[in-house]
Amino acid sequence: MCGRFVAASPPDEIARYFSADVPEEVVEPSWNVAPTDDVLVVHAHGGTRRMASFHWGLVPMWAKDPSVGNRMINARAEGLAEKGAYQHAFRRRRCLVPADGFYEWKAVPGQKRKQPWFVRRADGDPMALAGLWERWRGADGEGSETLHSCTIITTTPNEVLAELHDRMPVVLPPSAWDDWLDPDNEDIDALAALLVPPPAELLTLHPVSPAVGDVRTNGPELVEPVEPAGPDPTAVEGQRSLL
């Protein structure tokens, strides 16, 4: 799954990387983005890529209350076209969620507390996490305010992330962005084929402080490497793998 991530790069740099308009909204940098936070997303609008601030936790247009989004921070890639909460967004409202990396936790033998790991691209570029978005206008569809929300799509893990969890966010390569963002692209089979784990060599990971588990904690120190508690899942024949 993807329950915490880092979005700390300046919005103008992210906009240039994704060839998108600079967002009008101000979203503070965060090294500990948590569910229900506002996050920057890239989506298609009028033939261009636009960055905007959306609520993290998808609220379907038919929802009676926006709190339903608290349970929809992630959407499983399998069967999106058939799932009532996601099928409309999958067909027409797809987005990218820029991230500097994300966190995942691994159980430590003999300890109750899990060891958090920070996962990022090995080349230092931002991640483009595959997402869906929706607009909600109240339970009757006629609310005075419109809530834009999003979810991050997860898939089966590659061989590196499998050591940490049985799910991971979909990281889309630049070659897939146009097809994914195009609202007129309704080739469901081709879109679903994009939702696969990235190659192992794309990613690198290291253990970080358990402080990241507290949503009130924030700052660049959260992504600094620490000594792992328990076995290192990146160790190969006694050496540290820099995948």
| Residues designated catalytic | 2, 104
155 touches 171 (CB < 8 A) = no
Q: How far apart are CA 95 and CA 43, in angstroms?
A: 5
| 230 phi/psi in degrees, rounded to 5 | 100, -175
Distance CA 45, CA 181 (A): 9
| CA–CA gap between residue 3 and residue 116 (Å, rounded) | 12
Q: Which residues pair with 150 in a beta bridge?
A: 56, 133
- The whole-angstrom separation of Cα 103 and Cα 80 is 24
Distances in whole angstroms, Cα of residue 166 to Cα of each of 1, 106, 196:
8, 11, 13
In one-letter notation, the amino acid at residue 177 is: W
- Non-local CB neighbours of 192 within 8 Å, separated by 6+ positions: 77, 80, 81
